[in-house]
Amino acid sequence: MKTLIEQNYQSIIKRGLITDKTTVQEFVDKIYEEVNELEEAETEKELVFEMADVILTVLNYARHFNYPIEKTLKQKIEINKNR
């Protein structure tokens, strides 16, 4: 998962879509934009690609601000299993 996160993050940086000045609000706005596109998806293919966009945007957000998302996902899965 770390490789996937890093490859995606670096590809977005290379395109200039994330810089050292990218703010939390810009990530949140992008997540909302991707969720809106998910809601508007009309085919299964579009739906799956928009899901991927949402996930990748959230992972970029976590990577950018050094949030331990992989560790937290594992913890959250354990919490969910014990509910």
Q: Are the C-beta atoms of residues 41 and 47 closer than 8 Å to each other? A: yes
**Per-domain boundaries in the chain:** 2-81
Long-range contacts formed by 14-19: CB under 8 A, 24+ apart: 18/60, 18/64
Tokens 């934009």, located at residue: 33
- pTM score, whole prediction: 0.92
How many C-alpha atoms does 49 have within 13 Å on its Cβ side?
8
pLDDT per position in the chain (83 positions), as tens?
999 999 999 999 999 999 999 999 999 999 999 999 999 999 999 999 999 999 999 999 999 999 999 999 999 999 999 99
